[in-house]
Each structure stands twice: as structure tokens, then as C-alpha cells.
Amino acid sequence: MYSGVLSTVPPTTATWDFLFNWYLIFGVSAAVVIISMLMYVALRYRAKGKGAPSQYKPTGWKVILAIVIIMGVVLAGAGYQTFAAFTNIDIPNTPGAVTVKVTGFQWAWNFTYPNGQYAIDNLTVPVDKVVILNVTSKDVYHTFGIAMLDVKEDAIPGHVNQLWFNMTQTGVYADAIRCYQLCGIGHAFMVANLIVISQSAWNATFGMQKG
């Protein structure tokens, strides 16, 4: 929804897009190849007149082996690329990262900042900084997701799940945050805004007070 709005691509989005394109190329190719093969075979060997079928060859183990090897290689490649992209999931150890607590509840998001201040349905973060969100729920199972940043984690009562991102452009991104788990009648309205401001402005308003 916000694709194309950002002039600089956030790291999580870049990683995800690269991975997705990889899967897409192989996935679409596989579909095209196999479906074409199916159509070709079906048409090539369609019944014409009353002739007897020509002699077919029994399927040997070599065909099976070929399938296993080809699929294995492609899938292994995909898996490898996914593992390499786990940087999106694993929380980086960046010094100076900003941490915000996110608590989902029926039916809104509470964002609590380092200085104790909180906001409902508005997440304000500094630009160009690693932001770590500690996500949990006050009541039922929700799921916190920011589609434009390709990050999402479950908000589970009794758990704290972490996600991270780094927003590279300031702005107000309305409805960028949504709930992705059915959580009752207000599920459709659990929507929040992402607001990205300068680091100094953010520190002034939400940062930990020093001294």
C-alpha cells in the first residue's frame, strides 16, 4: 500500500523484497514449466481415432532421482536464502537502538515509550534509527504487523515477542499498522498510524531523560 512512497528503502523491506523476488522467479518458473508440461503432454497424446496406444516406458528410478535432485537443489537454495534473510527476524545488537513497548488489547494498540509516556494507535519513531518493539497482549491473541516494513510478530498474552525495523524516511503513514489475528468484533479496527520524526524531536518527546 505504501510501496513506491518511500524514496529510500528500509533495510527490512529491502531484505524481504530480495527474498521474495528470488522465490517468485523460481516459483513462477516452476509453475509455468510444470503446467506447460502437463498441457503439452495432454494435448500431444490426446486420443485420435481408434488406434492402440504406443508402447509406454515404465518409470524408472532415474526419473524419481532427477525430480528429487532438482527439487532438492531449488528448495535448498530457497532455504539458504531464507536463512540469510533471518536478519529481518533476529534482533540486531545495535547500540543506541530505541525500544518501544507495544501492548495489543481489544481493540487498539498501546505504545509505551522509554520515558513512560504512552500513546494509543499512534507509533512515533525516530528516523534512521533501529527501533525494537517488544510486543505483547493484554488479553487475547493479536498479531502486530507493519506491511510497509515487512515485519510482523504475534502479540500473545504472557509472551513478549520482539521485532525490529529502521525507518529511513520521515512522514506520517496512516494505517500502516494492523492487527492480523482475529481477536473479536473489533479486529477490523485495530489499526494504528506510523509517524516518523527526526531523532532530536523524538528524543525530546519520548526519550529516556538523562541526568
Partner 1 sequence: MGLLYFFSSLYFGVVGAILALLLRVQLSVPNNDFLQAAYYNQAVTMHGLIMIFWFLSPLGIALFNYLVPLQIGAKDLAFPRLNALTFWLFLAGGLMAVLSFFVPGGAAAAGWTSYEPLAGPVFSPGPGPTLTYLGLMMMAASVTVGSVNFIATILWLRKPGMKLLQMPMFTWFALFTVVAMLFAFPSIIAAFLLVLSDRLLGTVLYAPPSVLGVPGIDPSLLWDDLFWFFGHPEVYIVLLPAFGVIADLTPAFTGRPLAGKNWILLSTAVIVLPISFGVWMHHMFLTGIPSLLQEVFDASTEVISIPFGIIVIMFILSMVRGRVQFKTPFLFVIGALVLFIIGGIMGVFLSSPVLDRVFYGSYFVVSHFHYVMVGATIFGLFAGIYYWLPRMTGKMFSEKLGRLHFILSFVGFNILYAPMMLMSDMPRRIFTYQSIGDWAQLNGIATIGAFIFAGAQIVIAYNLLHTWFRGTPSGPNPWSSEDLEWSSPAEGATPAVHVESEPAGGWIGQLSSAASVSPATGGGESYSAGVAGHEVHLSSRPLTLSVGVMLFLTGAALYPGILPMGLMLLGVVIVGYSMVGWAWDDIRDRFTGPPEMEGGDRWPFDAVSKIKLGMWVFLSSEMVLFGTLLGAYVFIREAALQWPAAGSVHDIPLATANTLVLVTSGFTMVMAIYAIRKGDMRGLLAWLAATFVLGSVFIGVKMSEWAGLVSGPTPFVPGSTNAVTAIAASVYYVIVGLHGAHVVAGLIILVYLMKKTTKGGYTKERHEAIENFALYWAFVEIVWCFVFPLFYLL
Can residue 157 be called a binding residue for partner 1 (CB under 8 A)?
A: yes
Count Cβ atoms within 10 A of the Cβ of residue 153 and give its class: 0-12 exposed, 13-18 middle, 19 or more buried.
buried
Binding residue for partner 1, selected from 6, 9, 14, 82, defined by CB under 8 A: 82
Our finding on whether 15 is near partner 1 (CB under 8 A) is yes
List the interface residues with partner 1, window 40-69 (CB under 8 A).
Answer: 41-42, 45-48, 51, 53-59, 63-64, 67-68
Residue 31: CB minimum distance to partner 1, A: 5
What minimum distance in Å lies between the beta carbon of 42 and partner 1?
A: 5
Residue 200 CA to residue 207 CA, distance in Å, equals: 9
Look up residue 175 and give its amino acid: D
Contacts of 59 (CB under 8 A, 6+ apart): none
Figure out which of the listed residues 8, 25, 73, 75 binds partner 1, where binding follows CB under 8 A.
75
Pick out residues in 98-137 that bind partner 1 (CB under 8 A).
106
Query: Residue 201 interacts with partner 1 (CB under 8 A)?
Result: no
Phi, psi dihedrals of residue 96, rounded to the nearest 5°: 80, 5
Number of chain positions touching partner 1 (CB under 8 A): 74
The correct pick among 94, 108, 132, 151 for binding partner 1 (CB under 8 A) is 151
Long-range contacts of 107-112 (CB under 8 A, 24+ apart): 107/179, 107/183, 107/184, 107/185, 107/186, 107/187, 107/189, 107/190, 108/189, 108/190, 108/192, 109/144, 109/177, 109/179, 109/190, 109/192, 110/138, 111/192
Q: Should residue 80 be labelled a site residue for partner 1 when binding is judged by CB under 8 A?
A: no
* Residue selected from 11, 111, 150, 197 as contacting partner 1 according to rule CB under 8 A: 150
Nearest CB to partner 1, comparing residues 102 and 197: 102
Residue 153: what residue type?
A: E
Taking the C-alpha atoms of residue 15 and residue 132, their distance in angstroms, rounded to an integer, is 17
- Looking at the Cβ atoms of 34 and 120, the one nearer to partner 1 is 34
Give the binding range for partner 1 (CB under 8 A) out of 110-118, 122-130, 159-167, 203-211: 159-167
Residue 107: cis peptide before it, omega within 30 degrees of 0: yes
Q: Which of 10, 11, 126, 145 binds partner 1 (CB under 8 A)?
A: 145
* Nearer to partner 1 (CB atom), residue 123 or residue 197: 123
11: which 3 cell numbers?
533495510
What's the grid cell of residue 59?
Answer: 518409470
